[in-house]
A and B are shown apart, each in its own frame.
Chain A
């Protein structure tokens, strides 16, 4: 089945230690998104890629970076995680059809910062 895959499902890191979260998709969608969802809060868009074009949200901290080496993969890099970065990180994809295309979400990676 075509899907959005996130690895790992759970990630533990230490304060200040760089961490990378992975997302892959078999849907061949050209748009990929990263959301941060803190406990009992709404998901918040961090940034997205339209093909190779990176679009950062204005309030996304510089500590968060992303890479998209090809259509299928997208990575979220947190350069120096702080305790406040503990959250669920959701990857989503969509096919750009000129309208409000449906976003397909992965299961998320839960990040714990010690």
Chain B
């Protein structure tokens, strides 16, 4: 069975600084997808970034980038130039390529961006 672990329940960062959220996962699959979702307080969850396991190049979306280490089964999220609107709970999620649709989420990391 696949598992996703986020070892940092809470983190904080000063506005405009950079923060990295950690995620590790366990799978015997070779092909899969990884995601970071953001859940702001009292608002819906939205996709931040995604990574296909067969791609070696790390995904980037504006201020958000990932460090994907397939051998280590690590998938961290870096947020550059943190903004107050980045305050949210962040979930790392895994999806098998052979079972599209089923997201397996980590426990989440609550990020507080301080002014």
Interface residues, chain A, CB within 8 Å of chain B? Answer: 4, 31, 33, 40-45, 48, 50, 55, 57, 90, 92, 94, 96, 98-103, 105-108
**Majority secondary structure of chain A interface residues (helix, strand, loop or mixed):** loop
Q: Are A90 and B45 in contact (CB under 8 A)?
A: yes
Indicate which residue in B37, B100, B105, B107 contacts A100 across the interface (CB closer than 8 Å). B100
Residues of A within 8 A of B47 (CB): 102-103
Complex Cα distance, B46 from A42, in Å, reads 15
Is B7 in contact with chain A by the CB < 8 A criterion? no
Report the number of A-B residue pairs with Cβ-Cβ less than 8 Å: 54
A-B contact pairs, 9 of them (CB 8 A): A42-B107, A43-B45, A50-B101, A96-B100, A99-B100, A100-B97, A100-B100, A101-B100, A108-B44
Q: Are B33 and A100 in contact (CB under 8 A)?
A: yes
Interface residues, chain B, CB within 8 Å of chain A? Answer: 4, 33, 35, 37, 42-47, 50, 52, 91, 95, 97, 100-103, 105-108
Residues of B within 8 A of A45 (CB): 102-103
Indicate which residue in B33, B42, B44, B107 contacts A106 across the interface (CB closer than 8 Å). B44
Residues of B within 8 A of A106 (CB): 44
Complex Cα distance, B47 from A32, in Å, reads 16
Residues of B within 8 A of A48 (CB): 101-102
